[in-house]
Chains A and B, each alone.
Chain A
Amino acid sequence: MTAYIIRRLLYVIPILIGIVLITFLLFRAISGDPTDRIAGKLATKEYKDELRHQLGFDKPLWPQFSALHKGDYREFADNQLFNHFKDTFTLNFGQSTQYKQDISTMVKNGAGPSLAIQIPSFIIALFLEITIAMVCAFQRGRILDRLIVVLSLLGMSFPFLAFIIFGQYYLAYKLGWFPISGYPSHFGPGVLRYVALPVVLGVIAGLGGGVRFYRTVMLDESNADYVRTARAKGVGETSVMFRHVLKNAMIPIITQVVVIIPFLFLGSLLLERYFGIPGLGAMMAEAVDQADWPVLNAMTFVGSLIYLSALIVTDICYAMVDPRVSLR
């Protein structure tokens, strides 16, 4: 297994290089530099030029091979692409051009609020979805199963924003059960009061899709040969579902869960915007809008790292839950 993990870690390196190159091409080479926005409305050309110099936007985008021919390695290495790679791989993300705050501090500040809504939503939704999916598998083809399928489809048909607008208006404003928006300035028990409605809405909005997915997984497994064998041997239906079907359904469940985990860290743009939660989803959307290149770079790189790590953990989990899988 150790050799396998080392090999997978080595695979990560070219993938990360590719990601950093793509972010460079997308955000810097294609989107242009943000100097004009940073410089302000009455800025002179001289000031903009100086600012461009400070931010490194006056350097060549690519390595200058003419410098290499001349033997000037310093000039060859001094370009936006190489500097971008150096800064990213040394986690030197710098300051946000928009907020002039240290990006690592911004990410640290934003991760808590994002996770405060994403983790409870994820856990509650996961167990509800699997539980309901198992009920469907138990009751397959009967009225309850069909009703759940119809409700799931209905839930999937509504846009997430509709749930948010409805919940905020009726549950918070009209009924007064929750605060309309906001997030406490310090993490503590008071957080629950503010994250409750976003969590409830996040769970409800995702329930339809989740139930449909896990129901399909459960039904696929419950039609497998080994299940028929178990039934033929006289094993009870409850035991079949929990001891055989659920255990064997873990591979697709783990795959789905791992795909979601990096997005928990990245937060939820809509929930954060509508409920005034100062998380990473809103931060990233704003960075896109304002061409806050250092923030985008940091978030993309950190998000990719988490995602790649999650994929390795998934493979290890496969081996743990399914004896047919071996890591070599």
Chain B
Amino acid sequence: MKLWIGIGVLAALFAAAFIIIPMLSSSGDDAGEMVRHIALGSKIRGLDPQDIGDTTSSSVGSQIFETLYTYAYLKRPYEVIPLLADDMPTISDDQMTWTIPIRKGIRFADDPAFREGRGRELLAQDFVYSWKRMADLNNRSTNYSAVFAGYVVGLDEFRDYTANNNHVDYDREVEGLKALDSHTLQIKLTKPHNFLLYWLAHLPTAAVAREVVERYDSEIANHPVGTGPYILVGGYAGKSSFSMIRNPNFRGEHYPTEGEPGDKEAGFLDDAGKRIPFIDRVEWSIIEEDQPYWLNFLKGNIDSAGIPKDNFSQAITVDRELSPDLARKGISLNKFKDPSVYYYGFNMDDPVIGTNKPLRQAMSLAFNRQVYIDTFLNGRGELPKGPIPSMFPGYRTDKVNPYVAFDLDLAKAKLAEAEKIQGGPIPPMRLALGGTDTTVTQMGKFFRIQMKQIGLDVEVDYMTWPRFQEAQKTRSHQLFGLGWVADYPDAESFLLLFYSKNRSPGPNGTNYSNPEFDRLYEQAKGLPSLNDRIPLYQKMEDIVIEDCPWLITHYRLAFILHYDWLKNYKPNDFANGTLKYQRVDMALRKRRLKESE
């Protein structure tokens, strides 16, 4: 019995220690350093730039790796500017040869992979090597198909050579990728590639050093070594928090002196011309659930945050402005357009929906988008006009899309037309949604109710994401819900979803095919000037609007909150590595946190 009492006392002390010790200990402070605290909503999938395909890994990796080009931080519309390149590319008259000068004096961060552990200078050859890595099938890069496939002379052949080859020779020459000298890169194309400049500002084209890749081999995704402003301290794998510090080898840049109208008044040019980066250390936390994410933000543990759906009414008033409670804490609201479009796709290969245009139009007319946006997005959506979102060049404010209005009478009339084509009542249809959580099931019910208003029956299949993708690949969906986020600020990033050569298993999930659309698409892709492409984009959009392969629901609006101690925080949809522009007023942060205790 005594033994049992002894064990009981020990257990009680053990339990007490678990409660008391944490209360007495503190998390420490950020003495003397400028520290940025950021929360990530999901885990990092890997920091090998050639293989980065998700936004979380990209937001972290882009602080470490750099590309030849980037987007001006403050300017809108988005403008591509040199980053590691010394100037804009020189493009031959036939648009087939690009020559890019590389900035001198850029050094990789120190790492044991380099001689004496000191990061060496970046050379043109590093880009040749990095892009061959992207082509190497053994590296399973998700980006090659989008960036280089079919465009660079000899690179597809290099890719074929890497198939079933575990000992790839990276010295093997690729005619279209050459380092003319230590700081001049030449790309020879098989055909004009008008979006190449955008891709050269895309993180997967960032430079890695061959000796680093060879040292860490299959573990390279856990050992990022780049030329960017920050370096990772102690790795990230298997951790829910990790740190970055300044890269001592970073060349140092200057804060931009130009922005868009209103930037000066908003204080975005207060640091114009100053040397960057400002922040000494970045503390990243992975917080996947909404409640701890939101509470950590309210507590001031993270500097900026999106607004979880369930906390929206706490943060935003009915007028879509910041709540006074949060404003008193020194929090500001940033509203901006997201380069995305969300839709329900109609499988054009389906014998019922694919051959019946009035049916697709009827369904589009029967869907109340405003209620959908208010119910599921707390109003954070913009009513759509067509597949090109409003933030893209080519969007027409005066364009009227007759099929995005909520008009039940017209929908019923179109349905009557559709029934004539069908030769009787439309049979029940099946909608596939990728997800099984509450919100997705509510969205499925909402869709059914909308279609029921015109007498259409829809059954909803809730699928795991891999199952959903499998069904799309095999073209077995009838209707499906999906979204698309653009990779670069050009409407082609959306229109490619209707090009017939991109049909499933490619990104054209509706399997839409229209010869006139294809002709215009191919014509537009060959035009170097955006201004020349825009009229063609608009013609393509008109065709898609009329054929209605999508029931477009909305363009997303992002609402981001940040504390006033975070300076120069201007969301940029496309630029990489923007933390170097930001600044944290640590004294103000300390004061605010003290006030809120």
Contact = CB atoms under 8 A, between A and B. Distances in A.
A41 interface: yes
Contacts of B138: 54
A128 interface: yes
B5 to A, nearest CB: 9
B4 A246 contact: yes
B368 interface: no
Interface string A167-201: 01100110011111111111000101111110110
Interface string A96-128: 001111100110011001000000100110011
Nearest to B472: A36
Interface in B254-311: 285-289, 291-292, 295-296, 298-299, 301
B237 A109 contact: yes
B8 A124 contact: no
Interface in A250-269: none
Contact of B8 (A53, A127, A193): A127
A273 B289 contact: yes
A95 interface: yes
Given A105-B237, A178-B22, A99 B43 contact: yes
A277 B241 CA distance: 9
A95 B218 contact: yes
A160 interface: no
A54 B137 contact: yes
Nearest to A107: B238
Contacts of A173: 295, 298-299
B51 interface: yes
Contacts of B292: 168, 180-181, 274-276
Given A180-B301, A185-B239, A36 B473 contact: yes
Given A31-B466, A100-B46, A45 B238 contact: no
A102 B46 CA distance: 12
Interface in A83-102: 95, 98-102
A196 B146 CA distance: 47
A326 interface: no
Contacts, number: 196
B322 interface: no
A123 B14 contact: yes
B161 to A, nearest CB: 12
A105 B285 CA distance: 21
A4 to B, nearest CB: 30
Interface string B175-202: 0000000000000000000000000000
Among B14, B44, B243, find the residue whose CB has the most chain A CB atoms closer than 10 A: B14
B288 to A, nearest CB: 6
B51 A100 contact: yes
Nearest to A96: B45
A17 interface: no
Contact of B4 (A51, A124, A242): A242
A193 B467 contact: no
Interface in B1-60: 1, 4, 7-8, 11, 14-15, 17-19, 21-23, 25, 27, 43-46, 48, 51, 53
A279 to B, nearest CB: 9
Among A41, A48, A273, A277, find the residue whose CB has the most chain B CB atoms closer than 10 A: A41
Contacts of A210: none
A289 interface: yes
Nearest to B17: A192
Given A33-B470, A43-B505, A183-B240, 16 more contacts: A38-B140, A40-B145, A44-B506, A47-B144, A106-B238, A120-B14, A127-B7, A178-B23, A181-B287, A200-B19, A275-B292, A276-B287, A277-B240, A289-B465, A290-B465, A291-B464
26 contacts: A31-B466, A36-B505, A40-B53, A40-B143, A40-B145, A42-B507, A44-B149, A47-B137, A47-B145, A47-B149, A51-B140, A95-B218, A99-B45, A101-B222, A101-B237, A123-B11, A180-B295, A183-B240, A192-B18, A193-B22, A193-B25, A273-B288, A273-B289, A275-B292, A291-B465, A291-B466
